[in-house]
Amino acid sequence: MTGENNWFATETGHTFLEQSTLQAMPWVWPVCGHNALVLQPDMQESVNPQLQCTPKTFLQYRNQRFHGDFETDESHMPLVNECMALVYAQFVLELATDRMQFIAEIERILVPEGYLAILSLNPYSLYGLIGRWRELRIENKEYWSRSLSNAGFEICRSETIGPYWPRKANSSSDKIIKQPGSFRTANFILARKRKSALTPLRKKANAVALAREKIT
């Protein structure tokens, strides 16, 4: 991954991720199934989204690798095929060295009809412009929708959410939700994997245990 920074480890960055996650929940909460993988940027404390998919596995990106419940790079996760009902990628896709390979890896571990939820920085927002200055490769919703469609996903929802500018913890979330959309700070996309299972699915309850076995 390139352009790494630890802005999300600051109070403002962490609050922004919490606010964006909260606003995305009405579209993510209905997703049901077994096993959810939550990918997050480096921060001091994980943001725990309220998901129906359980159990949840948490990974944070740090020093060009994901760390957390197990350690992995972005392109070769030590997980069996079709073991996750949901992958929730929060502000990590724009950091990937090979974004299409990263998306292909997510597609591999998702069950047929499984969901990928993405939060990414909006390039038209003020923080998106600063992110480009910091050498983050920030793209618009159309880019991500096209990339996901090319990788075998169906786009179910595409929204622009968040404030015009990342706010501190004492800001009013009601004001944030009511702002016009075009220049909000974050993009949200919910996509479904369009692929039928050709072979019986493996038991998914031990997906993380299998990952840990493969790296020890």
Residue 52 is part of a domain; what is its CATH number?
Answer: 3.40.50.150
Range with lowest mean pLDDT among 118-122, 134-138, 207-211: 207-211
Considering the domain boundaries, does residue 30 fall inside one?
yes
Considering the domain boundaries, does residue 174 fall inside one?
yes
- C-alpha–C-alpha distance, residues 24 and 119, integer Å: 8
Considering the domain boundaries, does residue 2 fall inside one?
no
Q: What number is the average pLDDT over the span 55-78?
A: 91
Top mean-pLDDT range of 47-51, 200-204, 207-211: 47-51
The total of structural domains in the chain comes to 1
- C-alpha–C-alpha distance, residues 92 and 1, integer Å: 9
- C-alpha–C-alpha distance, residues 1 and 74, integer Å: 8
Rg of the chain over CA atoms, in angstroms?
Answer: 16
Extract the tokens encoding 166: 């990342």
pLDDT tens digits, one per residue of 98-108 = 889 999 999 99
For 104, the domain range is: 7-214
Predicted confidence at residue 164, as pLDDT, reads 65
Considering the domain boundaries, does residue 201 fall inside one?
yes
Considering the domain boundaries, does residue 78 fall inside one?
yes
pLDDT tens digits, one per residue of 14-63 = 788 888 889 999 999 999 999 999 999 887 677 888 899 999 999 998 87
Q: Please list, in sequence order, all residues whose beta carbon lies within 8 angstroms of the beta carbon of residue 172, skipping any fewer than 6 positions away.
A: none
Q: In what order do the strands lie in the sheet with 110-121?
A: 65-68, 54-62, 34-40, 84-90, 110-121, 186-193, 153-161
